[in-house]
Structure 1
């Protein structure tokens, strides 16, 4: 017997998420665009690629996309609010691939907007307790979990450290590494992180300029640490294949996360939370019965389809683990979904209240009464013939 709390190992996130970092002129934008084009061809997408352009430089990529016959939609902005809206549109299915160029400008604009809001010229220690969780909630978490392919670029900057000089006895600052100019953990959120670098030999007669890509992080481990000169999509294709192979629909094996907030609630609050949850479960059940009254056949399948569309699962056990607010939201969405599918409509009652009613025709293949003929068991049965009176008795 399998415990439904756990799930077997499987590819429940078959989407390519990558980041390219580098200094100006290192080729990160062009390489990211090449990968987007190759990925578009690999998945057979018929949708446009969406570019969130913070540098107003997407026009220089037009020949690359035109040659591949790919339509491109562009949003020129540095606002995190605009990026969040772009990601919402991606979730609605407007495109299969999002390219953000560059995330560094979005981060800088986010910090500036916060400083202006709190009327400060310099951020203080306590500000980061607001800034970092907000960035994680509005960008990092959706970027990782959203169901589409996404690539972002970021400007590189030097990391500095200090150590004591043995000769002078003084502490000296030195460059200790390279990092992306963005919130500390963001560059490592994707499945692949690439460092782009520009090299040149211009002092001799035979002048050369080229770019190199070094794979800093590769979750598949296939190409981790490798370097490619003037890279193209083909260099990264093994990672793409590893991320897209043998996908498993997430909702078929993963139960929604339980509400951790329950751990911090009092017993009284927990009881109230459960009552509210149970109420919405009953409301959902009643709404489903109004839309599709039957318990088998077509009506049962219709209910399962609605639950899957709204909650991403058909398991009432899994749905019962959701927060009451999520259930209330799902209740409203389920009704609207039924109307949009043409299986229900909203009518006005004599007292002015509005009610959702089913538009489904009678279910001739079983409507929940189990007789399979579309008639109710509550219909009046034929009366038995009267018993004839015995001879020798008088009728009263």
Structure 2
């Protein structure tokens, strides 16, 4: 197949005055798309003056990318409200008119993202040829994504591994974190547990973590365990041979972790101490059946420590967002720099974006910095329109 690689006169297919776009929802409208006189169809009236409190410096390149472009924000809102075809035709019109100056390439990137999300590879590649001809540079590359549902186990291994970082205090407050762990375990075969920050444990926290680890062992989840030896040291610090505490949970958790690490000799020594303390038969050593990978937590400066990890956003955000916001709030408790990884995020429903904004305002107001990373251009301009750029830095996904 050969194509004219010169500067394209127009993109096909595109709407014409004789081929109006039709909306099939109530209050249907018909419109001819001309980028110069396209009128906004959705009114936004969100107060943003109080959203700036507690917000810190935003990276310069993120600011440049989050400047308001009404036509592009309109297309993003149309996509967010499910009007994908209308958004597509509008972006094509913007590209054909080529009157947005430096913002015009963003319209191309938004259309690339739309075709990627819709898994329309033919349209994506056709657009790539037009882009290469116009700008004389390489277009974005088509990415083979895993289906959002019905993935095989092998396919599931290719996606990002969820990372749960445990706080300095391992106590009863970790129950919300473990609830999130339970949710993630239903969607992921491999989980990463980071105990590098733990500085103190108590029996209640030990009991909660013990139950969670035993459940993961039953379900045969593969684990990446970071800072396990740090955790064992904190548990050993509260144990004393011969002293019977109210619960055996710290002893049992210590032995559970030693088994995960396949440290048989240390397990047997601990089991003897446990036997002497509680006057029971020592438990038998059982090597883990699931795959366990260990890693040592690297010492980090206070600044880089908070930037080292991120909160993985879901593929789609729609409906009520209370659960998602609660998870972000929990993550923010142990992170001054709240990084929201949007590498898998494809679409945010219009109403859900407003709920997400309301949920992030208190976090920003508490003095924490929020940053959306690897955001696709459709979501980025929706966030701009909804005012999320006033509470968070929005860093777009690199086009490669």
Tell which has more relative contact order, 1 or 2 (C-alpha 8 A, sep 6+): 2
TM-score (norm 1): 0.24
Q: Which protein has the bigger strand share? A: 1
> Which has the larger Rg?
1
Q: Which protein has the bigger helix share? A: 2
TM-score (norm 2): 0.24
